[in-house]
Structure 1
Amino acid sequence: MDIFTAGRDFVRLEGRLVENRLLSVVFDGADPAGVVDALRGYQNADGGFGHGLEPDKRCPDSLGLDVETAFDILLAAGACDSVMIGRAVDWLASVATPDGAVALAAPVIENYPRASHMSEWTYEPSLNPTAGLVGRLHKLGVEHPWRSLAGSWCARQLELGLPTEAHSLHESLEFLEHAGDVDLERIRDWLPKVSYFRADAADPSYGVTPLQFAPTPDSPWAALFTTEQLEAHLDRLIADQQPDGGWAITWEPPGQAATLEYRGIVTVAALRTLKAYNRL
């Protein structure tokens, strides 16, 4: 069985409705409205997203991380529901600091099952996810007063220096992509100093890889890496497909359902990346 068929069958068997609808849009040309409809069940009356859309916490309340996940799904589907997004950004504005910064999560998650890494550090407003949310709103073409306020805060933070952790750097690059001239050499020189950056394709540990920084060859961040680096990680991505057709994860979600949900997410992401690099 080929890579795509095996991955598709895994998502059909084990994945959520939203990943199945997204897979149909990306690979079968289905109507993106189906993805938007699937996301509606995760949007709360306050406009934010919750209900474990990002599966590492089983909390129904709206959280910044779930809003970011919703934006990622909309972008992957090529969908832009202005009402849905506008309500979500209004919620972000309602929970932001006076400067516009937001946090990944909130103490309310402690009332529900969650992965061990979802703890106090996720309650602090930071570039992760604020910069990523601002960058995604630029990609979605959605303007909002919060986007401008938070963008100014992100710019001030990044003037002080680049983040020293890979997830925060990834989020910052989402913002910098739309912030004018970017010093690629500065970022390239900084990468080896960043924790959780998985530069070596042979390294099986948890981390952010070059393919996550540059999931398509036309990404502005593909220039941070050599062709050999990207090809090595593409080879590793193919090799990491499991016998059941899905891709594994390298952390511990809060339960079996969350594990399968996250495997569906990373499987769709892997197939999208392989398609973008003409490796399917």
Structure 2
Amino acid sequence: MIDKEVLNQCGDFILKEGRLLEKELYKHFFIEDNTQNVLQALLKYQNEDGGFGHGLEPDALLPLSSPFQTTVALAHLKDLDKQEEALIIIEQAIHYLESQYNKKRHGWFALPKEVNEYPHTIWWEFDEKKQMTAIDEHYGNPTAEVIAYLVRYKQYVRTLDVDDLVNYMLEYIENIELFQCEHELYCFIALYHELDGHLKERLKKQLSKAVHQLVEYNQVKWKTEYVPTPLSFVKHPTMIYFGIDKTQIDFNLDYLVQELTENHKITPSWGSNFYEGNFKKSFSDWIAIQTLETLIILKNFNRI
């Protein structure tokens, strides 16, 4: 259990070192409802085309809009979509995503080639020969998550056949035997939570298989390697656990409580070596982001 003193120490770190967005999100979840301030902080990353960029996810500082960064924004906005102001932003984002649909790919590429002109980590390097980033090697990232938001906000979709896109994605994942990328699964989990009935059941079967293949239970690796933990897949007790035993969830929660109690922050396991010069600030931003995300998970599981 995180006590009030530890929570305040973690909060002080976020409020001192985090970006405006993380500061406002911390206040929103742990101090008072400040939805308007969160929306204003998010708007700093939105472009006139309705999409999001400007390093919202700090591993790529490209100011131009991209489908990937727009899904990052929508992940925040969906939790605020009872507000009319949020729905206006969401509608603009959905129209942007429609404009970026690639018919040949039957989906979306994460980032445009211009990413190479701005600070970015190596996994976001645009390969001119392949005409995509390494992230795009796994088709479902970000396409499955984009479709999740098209399903959720179907009333704003003007040009795409959402049902066709969903069926295509289900057929894609059902043909995978060996899963290799947890980030692709996170996108499919986002889609899972927006589906109903038999479509949801179809996806659940494959996701349980995929999580079983990729989840890492070794706590030593949690600290030293970039691996998906049980809580990478299950962020709220009301979520389906995809075959992960509750005991493993509790172990993971205990681990996070200990980390925050001892350090008052969560430092990304992939380390700071990818961030040099003017790019160093991005790693500091990640510490605040991961600390906040951890606090929210602990709050969801009544560990605060």
| Range of TM-score over shorter length | 0.7 to 0.9
Q: Which secondary structure state, in structure 2, belongs to the residue aligned with residue 117 of structure 1? A: helix
* Counterparts in 2 of 1:186 and 1:53: CA distance versus 1, 3 Å: closer
CA distance in 2, matches of 1:102, 1:125: 11
CA contact (8 A) 1:22 1:77 kept: no
The AA in structure 1 aligned to 2:192 is L
Match of 2:94 in 1: 89
Post-superposition offset of 1:215: 0.5
Match of 1:52 in 2: 55
TM-score in terms of structure 2 length: 0.82
* Counterparts in 2 of 1:278 and 1:139: CA distance versus 1, 3 Å: farther
| Structure of higher CA gyration radius | 2
Post-superposition offset of 1:129: 0.8
After superposition, where does 1:254-265 map in structure 2 within 5 Å? 254=275, 255-265=279-289
Q: Percent identity?
A: 23
Post-superposition offset of 1:266: 0.9
TM-score in terms of structure 1 length: 0.88
From 27, 30, 33, the counterpart of 1:30:
33
After superposition, where does 1:1-280 map in structure 2 within 5 Å? 2-77=5-80, 81-98=86-103, 100-119=106-125, 120-123=133-136, 126-138=139-151, 143-145=156-158, 146=160, 148=162, 150-161=165-176, 163-177=179-193, 178=195, 179-182=199-202, 184=204, 186-194=206-214, 197-203=215-221, 204=223, 205-220=225-240, 222-241=241-260, 245-251=264-270, 252=272, 253-254=274-275, 255-280=279-304
Deviations 1:195-253 (A, max 9, x none): xx433233221022211211110012x25211210011111112223866221012245
Match of 2:128 in 1: none
Deviations 1:36-70 (A, max 9, x none): 11111111111110000000011101112211111
Deviations 1:17-46 (A, max 9, x none): 111111111122323121111111111111
The AA in structure 1 aligned to 2:217 is A
Post-superposition offset of 1:139: 5.0
* Counterparts in 2 of 1:102 and 1:201: CA distance versus 1, 3 Å: same
The AA in structure 1 aligned to 2:292 is V
Which 5+ residue runs of structure 1 have no aligned equivalent?
A: none
Post-superposition offset of 1:107: 1.3
CA contact (8 A) 1:6 1:245 kept: yes
Instruction: Number of aligned residue pairs: give it.
Output: 277
Post-superposition offset of 1:134: 2.2
Greater CA deviation, 58-67 or 70-79? Answer: 70-79
